[in-house]
């Protein structure tokens, strides 16, 4: 199979699934993994995809639901920066909410030895924190999603309604000045909205690539959050907007 044909197949798969793995592509196209790596490098140079360890992904599309294994391998350095910043915002004894994002997994690993109460619907965060002697832990039940490794749906929302929090740390797929926080599913959006409503302070935690984009469904207007935590400095335009709307930025 010619390289141009392989890359057309890869592009079609990315449009459908938003992410691909080298192992799957090599088997599907009956070529070596090194051949696929060369294809992915060439396609990245042409701005057709973003490579990651073991595969590649694309960001375009308002409902781009990248699988969790891919998301876990993305932007590891950025997530560490975000986790460090969030850790500095948390006081001993705080009751905090962590969503089911892979960014929240990094926050959980950062706070594992702190004296806190943590509420989450994430099974992965439960695994990170369950053996901590200092964390008072509440896992929200509901319908389990293997794709996100978390609980969601009406059951999870009803469980979260019982709790009131000092701080909520949530991520989202996209954020814009015009449309606020947007995400890929109603489940995620409703969980984020409720967590913000039940928290004294709500923090949006995102890497810089999520700014000035829009996803499928609205989660909350920017006025509903108290601060945005980002891995890089905000542009002057964003700083002006956040200052004008009394939203802290970190």
Q: DSSP state, 224?
A: G
* CA 68/CA 231 separation, integer angstroms: 20
What pLDDT score was predicted for residue 62? Answer: 45
* 17-38 pLDDT tens trace: 778 889 999 999 999 999 999 9
- Burial call 68-88: b when 16+ CB within 10 Å, e when fewer: bebbbebbeebbebbbebbee
User: Do 217 and 189 contact (CB within 8 A), yes or no?
Assistant: yes
Beta strands in the chain (DSSP E): 19-21, 50-52, 55-57, 95-98, 116-120, 135-139, 143-145, 150-152, 165-170, 174-176, 180-183, 199-206, 217-220, 227-230, 248-249
User: Do 129 and 118 contact (CB within 8 A), yes or no?
Assistant: yes
Residue 137: closest CA among 157, 114, 154, 153? 114
Identify the three-state secondary structure at position 89.
Answer: helix
Residue 168: closest CA among 242, 100, 73, 68? 100
Ranges of the chain with pLDDT below 70: 59-74
User: Do 118 and 138 contact (CB within 8 A), yes or no?
Assistant: yes
Distances (CA, A) of 22 to 4, 30, 58: 17, 12, 15
What pLDDT score was predicted for residue 63? Answer: 46
């Amino acid at each position: 199979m010619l390289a141009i044909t392989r890359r057309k197949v890869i592009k079609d798969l990315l449009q459908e699934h938003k992410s691909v793995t080298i192992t799957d592509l090599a088997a599907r196209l009956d070529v070596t993994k090194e051949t696929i790596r060369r294809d992915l490098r060439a396609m990245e140079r042409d701005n057709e995809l973003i490579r990651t360890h073991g595969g590649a992904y694309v960001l375009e599309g308002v409902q781009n639901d990248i699988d969790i294994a891919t998301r876990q391998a993305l932007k590891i350095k950025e997530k560490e920066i975000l986790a460090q910043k969030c850790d500095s915002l948390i006081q001993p004894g705080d009751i905090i909410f962590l969503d089911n994002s892979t960014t929240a997994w990094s926050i959980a690993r950062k706070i594992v030895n702190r004296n806190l109460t943590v509420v989450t619907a994430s099974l992965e965060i439960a695994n990170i924190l369950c053996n901590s002697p200092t964390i008072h832990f509440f896992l929200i039940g509901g319908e389990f999603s293997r794709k996100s490794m978390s609980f969601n749906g009406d059951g999870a929302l009803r469980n979260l309604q019982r709790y009131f929090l000092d701080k909520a740390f949530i991520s989202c797929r996209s954020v814009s000045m015009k449309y606020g926080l947007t995400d890929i599913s109603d489940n995620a959006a409703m969980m984020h909205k409720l967590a913000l409503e039940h928290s004294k302070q709500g923090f949006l935690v995102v890497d810089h690539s999520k700014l000035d984009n829009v996803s499928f469904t609205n989660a909350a207007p920017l006025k509903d959050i108290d601060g945005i935590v980002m891995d890089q400095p905000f542009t002057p335009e964003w700083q002006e907007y956040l200052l004008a709307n009394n939203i802290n930025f970190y």
